Each structure stands twice: as structure tokens, then as C-alpha cells.
Amino acid sequence: MAPMQEDETHQEVKTPLQLISQGVCLPGIPKHPTFAAQRQWMLEKMALAFRVFARLGYTDGMAGHISVRDPENPHTFWTNPLAVHFGLLKVSDMILVDYEGVPIGGNRSRPANAAGFLIHSAVHKARPDVMAACHTHSPHGMAWSAFGRPLEMLTQDAAYLYGDAQAVYQDFGGVVLTQDEGDRIGTALGPKGKGMILQNHGLLTVGSTVDEACFLMTLMERACQCQLLAEAAAANGLPKVLIPEESAKYTFDNSSDPETLYWEGQPDLQYEEYMCNGEHRG
């Protein structure tokens, strides 16, 4: 038998984004030439993410927040004003705060959410790799959080949170109004966490872009809904079948990288931009 040629044995290792793109590959995460341009882009995406959450019914009074680390001053982050509906938020509404909780830029006519600041500042301090974090009181997320258990690998989507990518914070101490409680939440996320169930509270997701964190929130909420439906069926005698460990890891490895998750977030964000006719940029 003739020896195999080198070009026959060498196989190019494809990125997850290349694997999912049949034909021309989707481009990577956009980069911008100045901090100002990067900041504007991030804040526009942040406003759209809030509008996604509003459309999906994640609003709950004054609860819920998104934070985005400033690209120029990484020890500060942007967050939403207290008591403004998610579906109305624009770039000019966002507040820039430092790690001491002092508003230092953006809209200072409204306060930020104190509980939100304590949670998000702890997450950003504990995880320098996190550019954006989302926290909501979504209905199915709150319902599943009452069990204090991680999501099981029941669906392909749940496998995006395989292994250390998912955390559970079980030490609910009431509304987060102390630095200690915020710090415990930040620690519980762990060095590789992408999503966390806050027992008796709700969901938290993080990402290298706000697009990623937003998508993971919608994914995690749906996964909680599926888990609750599966639990109800199982209670009536239908056995659950979990994804095998090897398959869950394979799905995670080939679907849950920053570039792929950035693009997973685009359809909902594009839809919101179309529906609001660019109002979010104001």
C-alpha cells in the first residue's frame, strides 16, 4: 500500500464558529479603533439586551440589571438606572460607577440599583475576564432556583452550561444589601462560571460581550422551563434521559466559546433594533 500523502493526513482544526458555518464563516467579534467607539457599541448592545429581556417578560419591578465593564477604565462599569422599564432604556440612560459605588459618568440624574451594584461589582472584581453580567428575576429561573440545584443535562441547550460553566449559590441571605453577600455571590460563580442559579432569587449570567451574557440568560431561562416541565412529567412516571457525559462535553466544547455565543445573541438583538427603529441609541 502506498504511503499516505501529508496533505491526506493533515486535517485543519476548525473553530466552533467555523464548524457551525456551512460555507463562508461568520466573522469574529467586532473590534473598534478607539475606546469611544468600543464604548458606544457596547452601550448600544446593552440597551438592546434590556429590550430583549422586556419582550421576554423578565421585568420585575425595580429588580434586574446588566453591567458592562468600561473598555478604557476596566475598574469601572456601566449599569442601568433604578426604576426605569427595560423596554425604554437607551444609551444615554446608563450610569458609569466605580468599584466604590460612586457614579462617575453617564446619567447621574437617577440612582443605580444598590443590590445590583453589590452583585455586579463583586463579579467584575472576582472575574477580570468578564466584560458583561446580567441578572434577572425571570419566572422559570426563579421557580427552578427554589430547588437550589443545578440544571441537568436534559437538552442540547443545557449542555452550553456543562460542568464548571454552571454554578449554584445556595446561601440566600435576603435582598443583597451588604458587601459580604455580594462578595459571596462573586466567589460562588467560580473562575469558569458562565451562568449561576441564585437559590430563591433568580439567574445570573456573564460573558466576554453583553451579547453573550444576554443570550446565556435567555438560554438559561428556557433551560429552567424545560427542567420544570421534565420534572412534572417525571413525577407522573415518565423517566428522564440525561445527555451522556461525553456528548454534553462535546456540545459545550463546540458551542460555548465567546465567538459562537456572541453570534447566538444576534438574532434577538437584531430584532429589537428593528422594532425600536434605532431608539436605543439615544
Q: Is residue 154 part of a domain?
A: yes
Q: How far is CA 93 from CA 43, 160, 277, in A?
A: 10, 32, 17
Q: Is residue 266 part of a domain?
A: yes
Q: Is residue 157 part of a domain?
A: yes
Do residues 118 and 177 make contact, with C-beta atoms less than 8 angstroms apart?
Answer: yes
Q: Is residue 281 part of a domain?
A: no
Tens-digit pLDDT profile for residues 57-83: 999 999 999 999 999 999 999 999 999
Distance of alpha carbon 271 from alpha carbon 19, whole angstroms = 25
Tens-digit pLDDT profile for residues 188-245: 999 999 999 999 999 999 999 999 999 999 999 999 999 999 999 999 999 999 999 9
* pLDDT given at position 41: 98
Q: Is the pLDDT of residue 247 over 70?
A: yes
Q: How many CB atoms lie within 10 A of CB 3?
A: 7
Which CATH number is 235's domain given?
3.40.225.10
Q: Is residue 186 part of a domain?
A: yes
**Domains identified in the chain, total number:** 1
Q: Is the pLDDT of residue 21 over 80?
A: yes
Owning domain of residue 63: 32-276
The average confidence (pLDDT) of the chain is: 94
* Residues forming a β-bridge with 184: none
* Residues forming a β-bridge with 206: 133
Q: Is residue 219 part of a domain?
A: yes
Q: Is residue 5 part of a domain?
A: no
Distance of alpha carbon 128 from alpha carbon 69, whole angstroms = 9
* pLDDT given at position 181: 82
Q: Is residue 26 part of a domain?
A: no
* pLDDT given at position 177: 62
Sign of torsion, CA 217 52 66 26? positive
Of the pLDDT bands very low, low, confident and very high (cuts 50, 70, 90), residue 6 is: very low
